[in-house]
Each structure stands twice: as C-alpha cells, then as structure tokens.
Structure 1
Amino acid sequence: MLPTFAIVGRPNVGKSTLFNVLTKTRNAIVANEPSLTRDRQVGRGHIGTHDYWVIDTGGLEGEPDAMNELITQHAWLAIQEAQGVLFLVDGRSGLTAVDENIAGQLRRFNIPIHLVINKAENLLPELVSAEFQLLGLENIHTISAAHRWGIDSLMESVLAPFPPSSNEAADISAEEGIKIAIVGRPNVGKSTLVNRLLGYERVITFDQPGTTRDSIFVPFEREGQRYTLIDTAGVRRRAKVFETIEKFSVIKALQAIEAAHVVIMVLDAQEGMTDQDAHLLGHILTSGRALVIAINKWDGLEPSHREQVRYHLGRKLHFVNFAQIHYISALHGSGVGQLLGAVNTAWQAAHQPINTAQLNQVLHQAIKNHPPPLVRGRPIKLRYIHQGGHHPPVFVIHGNQVNALPDSYQRYLINTFREVFALAGTPIRLELKSGTNPYEDRKNILTPRQQRKRQRLLQYVKKK
C-alpha cells in the first residue's frame, strides 16, 4: 500500500494548487475564490523512489452553512484515511484564529502533521515561520505551490519514514480498471448514483444544482473486477453558463468522457429528455465511448405516467439505440444493481477482437441478402473487410465506389455486425476505402503504337 497524505486547511490557502503540483496534473480546479473545492479529490504522485496518494479537501472552518458543514465532514474523513497530514497555511496572511482551531482539532488524530506555510516566495523562511511556531507543531516547511518552490524538500521530508515503492506500485493501469464517467445535466442525481454504486457517502450530495464542481475519480472493486467511477459536474446549455468556475467544471466533465471507457448518461424521468441531453449524448457518440443510459427518479412517477415516458424516450433516443436503458432510483437503489452488468457488457463489446474471416463471411452474406444500390448504372463492390481498431470497434471495408455507399446501407451493415457479433452498448464505425487505378497518372500518356497511329492520322487529315 502506498502512503496517503491529506491536504487540509482553511479556505483559499492554496490546497488545490499544491494538489496539482504534487500529482503533476490539473485535475483540481484552481481559482481565486474561497470554498471552491467541495469533494475529496484523490491523485497519485511520484518523487525520487517514492509513489504516494494525496487527497485534496475542501476548506475547513468556512462560512457556517449546510454546504460547508458537509465539506468539513468530508475533509475529516480524508484525514482518517491518511497516513499523514499536510496542514496548509497562508504565509502572507499570517497566523489566524481559524488556523489555531484547525491545529487543535488535528492533534486529536494520531498521525504525523506537517505544517506547510504556503505563498512564502520572496519571504525569509525563518521570519515567516516564526509566527507559526505558536502552533507547537514540530514539522514546519515553507513553500510556494504556485511557483513550485520548496516542493521537493517538503516531500522528501514527508516520505522519509516510508520505504521506497516497488516496481509493481508504479503501474496504475491495472488498478484503474474500467473507467466509468457519470454524466448528465445538473441535479439529475449523478452524485447520489455514485454513492449508491459505492455503497457509502463518498461524494457530497446536496439539493442544489451545481454541487459537484470537479471531476472526482473514485476507484473500487466489485466481484473481482476493478472500476474507477468519475463523478462529474452537471452540463448545461452553453448560453446558460455564465460563471468562469462553471465553465471549467463543464470542460472537466467533457474531458471525463474522453478519459472514460464507458459513460453512464443519467436522465431525469420527471423532466424527460431535453435538448441539452440530446446535445450531450451527441458528444458521447462523437467521442466513440460505450454508453449506458440510466433514467433516474423512476420511483417518483405514477404507473400511467411511466408508459408515456417510455414512449417519448424511445422515440427521442433512436440515434443511440445501441445503448442499454435502465430505469432506476439512485436514492432508493432500485434498478441500480443492473448498471455494472450493463457497463461490463458495453466494455467487452467495445474491446472485442473479431476474426477477419468471420467478418468477411458476414459481409458477403449481408451483400447477398441485400446488394448495394447502383451508382450511375454501375454496382458498388464491397470486396474485403477487416477490423481497424477498438473502443469503439472500427471496421475497414475495401472496394470500388465505396465512397458513394448510402448512409442507409452503412446503417444496415452496422446493425448486421452488431447483431451477429453481439456488440451491444458501443457505437460502431465504418471506414470505406476505394481501390486505386494504377494507371491513373498515365491515362494521358500515349504508348509508342498509339503515337504512330496518331501521327498517321494527322498526316491523312493534312492531305485531305
């Protein structure tokens, strides 16, 4: 097990900036705004011979409201999961009463506490740390997270009691497993679904749109299979996104789709499918990600209303008819147990290798059943097919005049491949390649015989 360190402190002292530096990522949103971070963000870092986990947390002792109470609860949970604490303070603001209160509460935990004085660039370390000696903490470090100053010496000191990491620990691809992005509009129940799938309160849920801001990666294991859930911020129409913070959140949600193997798109059964849902589904389709659709808050509908919702959703979701649809209640758990099975099916279909001989046999049988149409009186000839990629499956078809193959016939081929090879839950792409004419560049060049014939013809014309 790698050592884990929680970054804690009052709001706006630079915790997310330090998290990004330690993980060498930009996973945590950073802005000059207090209480920006809400959920725990976990990332992996490496320095020298050591690998480690680091947890970004929301600001402690923020404004006394319901949201900040939840943020504080999750920060203390992060400390309980850690083998050490990086207690971040602001060197320019100096020691505050809030810092003293947090230090007193941290002493209740029997884990090492490292006092990290941030924003100490251009300040004398001895001078800036003198005031914080009043906290009575032994391990004091001065850094500037924004300028990457003092980071190496900080982590060398923090990691000194821990043995070097093994080679196996450096490979994280197997640990991530199947990456699942949970996406949808604000307040459709994404975070509630994440907690339900995990079986505990991992991310903050609040009856307020826009609660989640970062994309939160949470690894877990179920029945021997590893997964990483990605909770994302709600995506609204661009015209309704005004705040810079929300713009960053939306960008991170779209990036989470690109990082995922499978996307669970959450729709609100009570509101039905909106134009924004269709736009987001279009983005998922373009990205080529495997897809599962979860219709949430299904338990809140009357039986007569459910049939009407099923009908309208079936009509509007025709362009992603390859995806399994599940009607669930994330709050009460009904139907949620089937989602991971659908995720596994979609992931396997997206990565399934298909034998070339079988592909050609299916293609030729499809052509025999329904030949391609004629183009200017000439037949389109589909001669050969092979698999050109995975995630999503890509099938490359070679032939003559294939660029003129109608979209309707391409859909026919895609549906045939999907049915024969059981490729449920994933989009399929066709690449069409026409054969080239080896004499294309020589069509205007005459052979010697043609040249002699042409010369005789010209002489004959002159005599006449």
Structure 2
Amino acid sequence: MIPVIALVGRPNVGKSTLFNRLTRSRDALVANFPGLTRDRQYGDAVLEGRRFMLIDTGGITGDEEGIDEAMAQQSLLAIDEADAVVLLLDAKAGLMAADHGLIDHLRGCSKPVFYVANKIDGTDPNIAMAEFYQTGAKQIYPLTATHGKGVRQLVGDVLDLFPDADAAGEGQDQAHGKKIAIVGRPNVGKSTLVNRMLGEERVVVYDQPGTTRDSIYINYERDGEPYTLIDTAGVRKRRSIRETVEKFSIVKTLKAVDDANVVVLVMDARENIVEQDLHLLGQVIDSGRAVVVALNKWDGLSSDQKNRIKTELDRRLRFIDFAEVHFISALHGTGVGHLYESIEKAYASATQSLQTRHLTTILEGAVYDHAPPMINGRRIKLRYAHPGGQNPPIIVIHGNQTDKVPASYTRYLEKIFRRELKMVGTPVRIEYKTADNPYEGKKNKLTKRQVDRKRRLVKFVKKQDKKRKKGK
C-alpha cells in the first residue's frame, strides 16, 4: 500500500505550500495569514517513481476554541491515520510554546516524526536550525517550501522507511494474484457480493450503512487461478460524512482502488443511478484502473423498472462505453458468476503487451481516415506510437505540434486504439511527445563560391530591372 505522510505544525508555517509543492498542484489554499486550512486535504505525490499520499492539516496552537478546536481535532486525527509525520517549524519565528505542545503530543505516538525548519531562505541554515535542536531531535531538515530547497532529501528519507511495494512486495501475505476491489456507496451490497464470490460468510453483512470500516484483503483461488478480493467501505458525499472513523475508511477505500488491478463498482438498482455513483466511477477512471459495473438487487424489479434503468444506463454511462455492465443479485447469486468473465477480460486488456509496430500501423490508419486539424495553417503530424506502460495501457505518440492536439481528437484516437486492440473494461491513456527540430536556430553558412554567385545574381536582376524600366 502507498505510505501516508501527514504535514503538521503551527498555523502559517508553510504546510500547504509544501503540500502543493509535492503534489504539483494548487489544491491547498495558500495565503500569508494563519488558520487558512481547516479541513484535512489529501493528495497523491510521486518522487523518483515512488508514490505516496500527503495529508495537509490545519495549524495547532493548543488554545483553540470554537471552529479552531474542530480544526485541531482534524489535525490530530491525521496524525493517527498517517504512517509518518512531518513537523514543520518556522525558522524565522523560532521555537514557540505551541511547538512544544505539539512535540510533546508527537512523542507519545508511535509514528516516525521528521522535524523540518522551514523558511530558511536568506539566513544561515546552521544558525536558523540551532534553536530547534533543544527539542531532542536527532536531525533537523532545513527547507524552503516556496522554492523546493531541501524537499527531495526530506521526502527521500521519509520514503526510505517504507520498502518499495514492487521490490519488497508490501503485504506479500496480503495480496496474491489478480486484485479485485469491490467499491460503491454504503449499503449497496458490497460485502454480500464478496461473500457470494467467496462462497462463504467471510465479512460482516448487516442492513446498516457503514458496516465495513476498513479495506479487507482476502486471498482465494478459483479454478486454480489466484485472486485477492478487497472489500471496501462505502463512500458517501462529503457533506453526509459525520463520523471520524468513516473519513479514515474512505481514505482506505481510495488507497484500495489505487492498489487494485480491476475495480467492480456496485450500484443499487432499486435506487437507480445517483450522482455519487458517477462520481465514484470518475474516481476509478481517473486512477486508471480497469472497471466492471455491477447493478445489484436486480431481483424483484418489475419489467418496466428494468427497462427504465437500462435506458438510464445507456444515457448516463455513455462516457464509459468500454466497461461491461452486469445485472446481479448478490444475495441470491444471480449473475455473479458472469462477473469473472468481465474481470478476466478487463485484466487482460489492462496488462496486455503492446508492440510499437502494431501501434504505429493503427495510428497511421486512424490519421488516414481522419487527419488531425490544421493549426495556424500547418497540419499536425503524428509520426509513430509506442507503448508507455500497463494498467492502464499508455500509448506514447511522437510527432510535430502535439501540444496542440484537441481533446476531441485524443478521444477519437483512444476509441480507435481500444477498438483495434480489442480492449474491454480499461481506460486508455495517450501521451504526446513533440520531436525537436535539429536545424532550429542554425543558419546555413555559405561558401565563398556561393557568396560570389549570389552577388552576381543580384547584380543581374538589378540590371534587368533597369532595362525593363527604360523600355517603358
């Protein structure tokens, strides 16, 4: 699983700035006054090919009242949720009483804590950090979050505590074979479906939303093929979330989606398709995971209700026409066995080996049938394509002016590649690379003979112009 790192500290010490720097986004609001961040903000980050999750928190002073008290409670919950904690201290303001209170709290938790002296720009780092060594920290990391100075060393040392999942195989006894995550809103029948797929009562099932609170990894075999089922907590709208435990559960669910090979999105057919279902589906597609849609509780519906739901599906799920849809009853087992067929096809499509020659042939055919548009009187040229990764399949296309390819043409190429490669259930990502012109900025230096010839030609043209004018 991806390590989770919490950024904590007093207000206005640069937590949100560091969060935006690492996630390469502007998701966290940044301004030069304290208390701007109130809720926990989650973001994915990548450093040297290693992924991790960051939690930006509100500042803690120790004397909060009213809304600030709830904000501080959110920050303390983020510490409990994280695998490691980064404590930011203000090098310009020095060590303050609020810092001591937070340090005492962190000493009582079992998480590794990294002490950071932020805002060292314009000062001697050794002098700026000297005061912070009275905290008893073995190492203080000098940092300038606004410019990124010292960030790489800090994050590198934090991630060294967590072996790379590919090398160390985190949870070797936790996940074997194809990983299938069962996700959906609360009380749509996810745990019931897991038990039905396993053939036993493996997880707790109860007629109450929020029964499942953690992501449960279950290893099993089917027809000699190893699988890992991941039963996840239901994900509701943010405004409907009340319990703190549920917030932790949603984070676990999103991490499970990222960890899975194929995601089975379960919907409640009796409630029709709601906005939260579409939002969850968008989350899965954005993560690049193969997806299978399962409409549960199909039994007991009348023919008119079934026809209306199918019409609604065709209309609202048009943006994922590559995903297969199943109508099932997890309680009675109707249609559950057919899920494996779609799961196998989606997994095979997401992990299939692609060849450069085949991809380039498909690209040439697509361009021949429907050429890219003209940009400023020049045609966009797409020359060749090669594979760039799996799960999801990534196709890298090289050419000229590729940064100006419209989104509509990218969608056209995605559909062509998916059709020709017979991909089912998986999104396809297309990346563009523009070739550099080796002659750009270089002038052709003429030889002495060429210069003399050019001079004679200019002289001849001028003489002809004079004759033409005299003739008139």
Q: Which TM-score bucket, shorter chain as reference?
A: 0.5 to 0.7
**Partner Cα distance (1:192, 1:239) in 2:** 26
**Partner Cα distance (1:405, 1:173) in 2:** 45
**Partner Cα distance (1:422, 1:358) in 2:** 13
User: TM-score of the superposition, structure 1-length normalised?
Assistant: 0.59
After superposing on structure 2, the runs of 4+ consecutive aligned residues of structure 1 that deviate more than 2 Å are 23-26, 145-148, 169-175, 437-440, 445-450
Question: Which secondary structure does the structure 2 equivalent of 1:252 belong to?
Answer: helix
**Partner Cα distance (2:446, 2:3) in 1:** 67
Counterpart of 2:395, as a letter, is F
Q: Which residue of 1 aligns with 2:421?
A: 421
1:272 touches 1:313 (CA, 8 Å); kept in 2?
no
Counterpart of 1:191, as a letter, is S
Residue 341, structure 1, aligned to residue 328, structure 2:
no
Change in Cα spacing, 1:280 to 1:174, as seen in structure 2 (3 Å) is closer
Q: Which residue of 1 aligns with 2:437?
A: 437
Q: Which residue of 1 aligns with 2:134?
A: none
Larger relative contact order (CA 8 Å, sep ≥ 6): 1
Question: Which secondary structure does the structure 2 equivalent of 1:349 belong to?
Answer: helix
2:397 touches 2:430 (CA, 8 Å); kept in 1?
yes
Task: Note the 1:212-231 alignment, pairs <5 A.
Answer: 212-231=212-231
Q: Which residue of 1 aligns with 2:238?
A: 238
**Partner Cα distance (1:218, 1:375) in 2:** 53
Counterpart of 2:376, as a letter, is R
- List runs of 5+ in structure 1 lacking aligned partners: 1-22, 27-144, 149-168, 457-464
Q: Which residue of 2 aligns with 1:172?
A: 172
1:270 touches 1:300 (CA, 8 Å); kept in 2?
no
Counterpart of 2:280, as a letter, is L
2:264 touches 2:291 (CA, 8 Å); kept in 1?
yes
Task: Note the 1:50-65 alignment, pairs <5 A.
Answer: none
**Partner Cα distance (1:353, 1:414) in 2:** 17
Q: Which residue of 2 aligns with 1:61?
A: none
**Partner Cα distance (2:174, 2:365) in 1:** 39
**Partner Cα distance (2:364, 2:170) in 1:** 47
Task: Note the 1:34-183 alignment, pairs <5 A.
Answer: 172=172, 176-183=176-183
**Partner Cα distance (2:2, 2:382) in 1:** 49
Q: Which residue of 2 aligns with 1:309?
A: 309
Counterpart of 2:379, as a letter, is P
| Cα shift at 1:300 | 2.4
Counterpart of 1:232, as a letter, is T
Question: Which secondary structure does the structure 1 equivalent of 2:209 belong to?
Answer: coil
1:350 touches 1:390 (CA, 8 Å); kept in 2?
yes
Counterpart of 1:323, as a letter, is A
Q: How many residues align?
A: 291
| Cα shift at 1:438 | 2.7
Change in Cα spacing, 1:368 to 1:313, as seen in structure 2 (3 Å) is same
| Cα shift at 1:355 | 1.6
Q: What is the percent sequence identity of the aligned residues?
A: 51
Q: Deviation per CA, 1:375-429, whole angstroms, max 9, x where unpaired?
A: 1221111101001100000000000111211222211111111111111010000
**Partner Cα distance (1:403, 1:391) in 2:** 24
Change in Cα spacing, 1:186 to 1:401, as seen in structure 2 (3 Å) is same
**Partner Cα distance (2:271, 2:379) in 1:** 48
Q: Which residue of 2 aligns with 1:377?
A: 377
Q: Deviation per CA, 1:137-167, whole angstroms, max 9, x where unpaired?
A: xxxxxxxx9769xxxxxxxxxxxxxxxxxxx
Change in Cα spacing, 1:171 to 1:315, as seen in structure 2 (3 Å) is closer
Question: Which secondary structure does the structure 2 equivalent of 1:300 belong to?
Answer: coil
User: TM-score of the superposition, structure 2-length normalised?
Assistant: 0.58
Change in Cα spacing, 1:291 to 1:147, as seen in structure 2 (3 Å) is closer
| Cα shift at 1:181 | 0.5
1:175 touches 1:226 (CA, 8 Å); kept in 2?
no
Task: Note the 1:377-416 alignment, pairs <5 A.
Answer: 377-416=377-416
| Cα shift at 1:199 | 0.3
**Partner Cα distance (2:253, 2:170) in 1:** 27
- List runs of 5+ in structure 2 lacking aligned partners: 5-107, 112-168, 456-472
**Partner Cα distance (2:204, 2:171) in 1:** 30
**Partner Cα distance (2:176, 2:404) in 1:** 43
**Partner Cα distance (1:383, 1:408) in 2:** 19
RMSD over aligned CA atoms reads 2.8
